[in-house]
Amino acid sequence: MRRGFLPASPALALILLLVTLGIFILGPVIAIHISPEIRLIFQFIAAITIYNWIKNTVGPGVLSLVISGILIYIFVIMLPGLTAALWATYYIVGLGIASMFIWGFTLFSGRG
């Protein structure tokens, strides 16, 4: 008699997890290569994100503009596929960590 969550073997669960992660990570990459509009929107969001991150880290000034320009050229213009995959991975991991905190807070607060 099998016990536990999965009705099948753990190897099937690992395969399903890897396929799901592959779809979520490759989805934005495929989308920016298919549609120029999605690519333009993604490049705009990525450029703003890089600029704000550098401005908050280095401070406002010429140095932050130079560093932002270099990073935007490398990651947004030259390597948009890699940037889209990293962006998707960052948000998937961030949502996963946030959901663990929410689950923990509701479990230990007595409401869950």
The domain spans of the chain are: 21-108
Mean pLDDT along residues 58-77:
94
> What is the model's pLDDT at position 14?
79
Confidence of residue 99 (pLDDT cuts 50, 70, 90): confident
pLDDT tens digits, one per residue of 25-58:
888 888 888 999 989 998 998 999 999 999 999 9
Q: What does the DSSP 8-state code read for residue 36? A: H
Straight-line distance from the first to the last Cα atom of the chain, in angstroms, rounded to the nearest whole number: 30
> What is the model's pLDDT at position 53?
92
